[in-house]
Amino acid sequence: MSHRWSRTVAVGASLLVGFALVAASVIVPALLLLRVDERTLSRWSQIGQALEPIGVLFSGVAFIGIALPLFLQSRELQNQRDELAISREEQQRSGEIAIRQLHTDLIKMAIGDRGLRQVWPPISAGVAETKKDHYCNLILNLQKIAYETHAIELAELRGALTYLMTSRDVYLFWSKARAARAGVTAGDEAEDFFTAEVDRAFADANPPKPKRLPPSVWQAVGEWRAGRMSRRHE
- pLDDT greater than 80 at residue 214: no
> In which band, very low, low, confident or very high, does the pLDDT at 11 lie, cut at 50, 70 and 90?
low
Q: What's the pLDDT at 36?
A: 62
Residues 32-59 have a mean pLDDT of 66
**Average pLDDT over all residues of the chain:** 76
Provide the CB-side half-sphere exposure for 219 (13 A, CA).
Answer: 3
Residue 166 CB partners (closer than 8 Å, separation 6+) = 205, 208
- pLDDT greater than 80 at residue 35: no
Q: What's the pLDDT at 211?
A: 60
pLDDT digit string (tens) for 76-124? 888 888 888 888 877 777 777 777 777 778 778 877 777 777 777 777 6
Residue 184 CB partners (closer than 8 Å, separation 6+) = none
Distance CA(60)–CA(99), nearest Å, equals 58
Question: Coil, helix or strand for 153?
Answer: coil
Comparing 24 with 228, the larger pLDDT belongs to 24
Give which of 112, 138, 117 is closest to 129, Cα–Cα. 117
Distance CA(196)–CA(185), nearest Å, equals 12
The model carries a pTM of 0.51
> In which band, very low, low, confident or very high, does the pLDDT at 161 lie, cut at 50, 70 and 90?
very high
> In which band, very low, low, confident or very high, does the pLDDT at 46 lie, cut at 50, 70 and 90?
low
- pLDDT greater than 80 at residue 210: no
Residues 53-59 have a mean pLDDT of 70
